[in-house]
Amino acid sequence: MRVYLVVSIISTVWIAMAQNQPGGPEEKDKASTALKADIRGGETDSFEETGRQQKDMDRLGDSAKNWQMEYNIITHFVYELLEKECHLKKVYLPVDATEDEPKSFIFMSEDAITNPNKLMVLIHGSGVVRVGQWARRLIINEDLDSGTQIPFIKRAMNEGYGVIVLNTNENYVEVEKSKKQVQPPASDTDEPAEKKKKDDSQKETIKRRDFYEKYRNPQKEKETKHIPIRDNSTPEEHTLYVWDHFISRSSAKNVVFVAHSYGGLVFVELMIHREAEVKSKVISVALTDSVHNVWHQDAGKSVLDWMQEHCRNWVSSSEPLDTPVEFMLPDCPRVSAGTERHELTSWKSFNSIFKYFTQALEAQNTEAKSKSTVTTRSSHRKKSEEL
């Protein structure tokens, strides 16, 4: 009963919140408080905290099922908002997939490929989040603005960007395994008692593990297998695929990335594998609490030099927003996101990120004008000499 109430509340409140609202995170505190009160039904604990307080396995199992249902509702609701509120279109991958082949998808604005000026690419972190989400915990316990990429998408489109939203965690489809009839081995009465005791202990361990697995993931009561999605079976592979088939073919002269957590690592991998192409199109990258490591990822000096100039990482910190934060790795400048909560770093640095991109675009335009002036003067000089 509780889950249907939650669904009703989420649908009612979220639709209202999905409308265009001016400003950044500072203006949403009252809405956040109201949403939390509505979703929790007046309770002071989050769903996760409530679940941990369950005292018996049956109640825990029911609660886990409710969480999973709520997560599924959230995911599909965000997809709906991306299409109806942000006016993005769903594009299936691989682009040449057959009808019966496993598929993934991304979301794109109508002008993502044709916009001649600028394009924004969004990459979420790892785990259960899907396209359009930063953190499900924030969506449930805070609001849509902090937990989804919708504010980034709307503002980007209002500022004239084309938009591509990656879906790096959609890497396989899950299907039920075919059952094989296996005859149990005949009991051996002459089997040593010690060995029999050990086998019984192993069976009991497996039985106990399966029992707890049922409650940890109550919807997965049947044996399943994962079928990887062609050319998109990992976050890194997915990003390379989207780059090769969409981003690199876009008309935009200025491409920017926003990459959260593991998404930062994914971008660095893209940079390593498509260095020349990335340098020719990407002018600025905003990382939010990125977990990349240029030493482990074997990034060369040319990559590090480029990152120093074109990347900035807003990290979780107790320091005020945009305060420089020292770090050992020689990859890119780090500044405070104004929060110590990892999942909030994208939202808290929202306004700073767009300001950062604006500065990068202005610098790019100034450089382009300078080159144009030099070229024009050179052309006039050449003509004068010919005369």
Among 63, 104, 109, 261, the one annotated catalytic: 261
Whether the per-residue pLDDT at 26 is higher than 60: the answer is no
Question: How large is the average pLDDT for residues 215-229?
Answer: 70
Alpha-carbon span 292 to 268, nearest angstrom: 7
Every domain of the chain and the residues it spans? 86-173+228-365
For residue 56, the model assigns a pLDDT of 42
Q: Residue 5 pLDDT more than 80? A: no
**Per-residue confidence at 223, pLDDT binned at 50, 70, 90?**
confident
pLDDT of 13 above 60: no
**DSSP characters over 94-112:** STT--TTS--EEEEE-TTT
pLDDT band at 24 (very low <50, low <70, confident <90, very high): low
Burial class (CB in 10 A: 0-12, 13-18, 19+), 82: buried
Residue 248 has what pLDDT? 98
Q: How far apart are CA 40 and CA 24, in angstroms?
A: 24
Six token digits for residue 65: 């099922």
Q: What is the DSSP string of 238-305?
A: HHHHHIIIIITTS--SEEEEEEETHHHHHHHHHHHHSHHHHHHHEEEEEEES----TTTTT--HHHHH
Class of domain 86-173+228-365: alpha beta
pLDDT on residue 361 = 96
pLDDT higher than threshold 70 for residue 360 = yes
261 is an active site residue: yes
> So what's the pLDDT on residue 195?
54
